[in-house]
Amino acid sequence: MEDYYYKRIPAVRVASFDVYAVGQSKHHIAALLEFDVTAAREKLKLLKASGEAVSFNAWLIKVISSSICEYPEVASFLYSERKLIVFRDINISVLVEKETDGVKVPIPMVIKKTNEKSVAEITHEINEAKNSQLSSKDVVINKKPDVLERLYYLMPGFIRRLAWKIILRSPKFAYHKMGNVVVTSPGMFGKLNGWFIHKSVHPVSFGIGSIIKKPVVIDNEILIREILHITILIDHDVIDGAPMARFLRDLTKNIESGTEL
């Protein structure tokens, strides 16, 4: 018997390879940040105790959405060398781990109009996606793939990556297919004291890390607080450094105060 064996890669993983390859060409600035989520988690515990069906991830998606609404250019696409296209709604792509062909893989789903939905509604939508049946032919949760999407997985790599570049040059099409924000949560599957440096083709993306208890100085006192690590990629082609910094400042304030709870 051979001392190795082969394992088939699920088709849905192919898109991840292509996103990483195409994402290398984006002009993203990476911000590695720590957020004190102690107050927010206390509020969530109280809501859950009162019977509210809300999750931490759903709240984070909502607060990201409401923060972007104040700085919509953060989630805009480059339409031409002299023009941006800014969408009025925030459609957020999230990854939900599902089992297909006996292997657990992250499958994307797009939560539309997160700016109009409550934390409870977003929680319900994510839970429904997690509990839905998935076939090996499905590409996006809650959406049956069309013929072109199925054909995509049969194409050679260079053609698939060319297809991604064409999609990104058509912002309206890209927005409806994949949203204008992506949130991925690799750190939620284990306690790691650090950041994940991900890649993305979206204008803005959030890599959610783990929550770690750390000593923090507050009013000249050292307190133990719950600290969330997040890597944020922002496309420098669509927003300058000053408004980018103001967005991150307000996002920090909204997360640490438990806005939307």
| pLDDT at 102 (0 to 100) | 66
3-state class (DSSP) for residue 212: strand
Instruction: Please state, as a whole number, how many other Cβ atoms lie within 10 Å of the Cβ of residue 36.
Output: 18
Strand partners, 36: 227
Q: How far is residue 48's CA from residue 95's CA, in Å, rounded to a whole number?
A: 24
pLDDT in tens, 8-66: 776 667 777 777 777 788 899 999 999 999 999 999 999 998 988 899 999 999 999 99
User: What is the pLDDT at residue 66?
Assistant: 97
| Residue 256 CB contacts under 8 Å (≥ 6 apart), including other chains | 35, 36, 37, 39, 40
* Neighbouring C-alpha atoms within 13 Å toward the C-beta of 70: 14
Whether domain 12-256 has CATH 3.30.559.10: the reply is yes
pLDDT of residue 3: 87
Helix, strand, coil percentages (3-state) for the chain, rounded to 5, are 40, 25, 35
Q: CA separation (Å) from 139 to 61, 122, 135, 161, 234?
A: 22, 21, 9, 16, 26
pLDDT at 131: 79
Write out the DSSP string of 116-127.
Answer: GS-HHHHHHHHH
Single pTM value for the model: 0.85
**Mean pLDDT value across the chain:** 87
Q: Tell me which of 130 and 242 has the higher pLDDT.
A: 242
User: Which sequence spans correspond to the domains of the chain?
Assistant: 12-256
Straight-line distance from the first to the last Cα atom of the chain, in angstroms, rounded to the nearest whole number:
58
